[in-house]
Amino acid sequence: MKQLTIQLLLIAGTLAISWRLLMGYGQKAQAVRRLGLVAFAAFAIWSILDPTVWTRLARMVGVDRGADLILYGLVVAFFGFVVTSFRRFRDMEIRYTRLARRLALRETPSPTEHPTLLARGSTDAAATTPTDPES
């Protein structure tokens, strides 16, 4: 029955990450991430000094060995990494798309001065449009 604790924790972690995937993220999310990183580093040093802390922690949530707990945590963390990368790539894609679009438009004469439209102004357009579709 104690297993339920770790199951709930892992499911909650997975859901939280999925939620972040759908929700926005900004300064707050970044701050939370940085605080998490600091806490992680502190805990890492603690667990180096006292390796049994993982096992004690694992027992608390219903997992036998500390190594297993680390593995479970890693799986969830990896999922989080995938999600973050996905979002980051998506943002980058939007940015370089805008850049490429700007370049493409800059290289093309605007509609008011495009040779294709000017040259075919009256005469050629009349020739290529024997019937006005509107009439």
* Interacting residue ranges for another protein, rule: CB under 8 A: 21-22, 86, 90, 93-94, 97, 100-101, 103-105, 107-108, 110-112, 114, 116-117, 120, 125, 128-130, 132-135
Least spacing, CB of residue 120 vs another protein, in Å = 7
The nearer residue to another protein, 16 or 71, going by C-beta atoms, is 16
CA distances from 89 to 7, 32, 82, 94 (A): 31, 21, 11, 9
The nearer residue to another protein, 27 or 110, going by C-beta atoms, is 110
The nearer residue to another protein, 52 or 112, going by C-beta atoms, is 112
- Rounded CA-CA distance 25/88 in Å is 11
The separation between the first and the last C-alpha atoms of the chain, rounded to the nearest angstrom, is: 80
SS3 assignment, position 2: coil
CA distances from 66 to 55, 57, 70, 73 (A): 4, 7, 6, 11
The nearer residue to another protein, 45 or 106, going by C-beta atoms, is 106
Least spacing, CB of residue 34 vs another protein, in Å = 25
Least spacing, CB of residue 85 vs another protein, in Å = 12
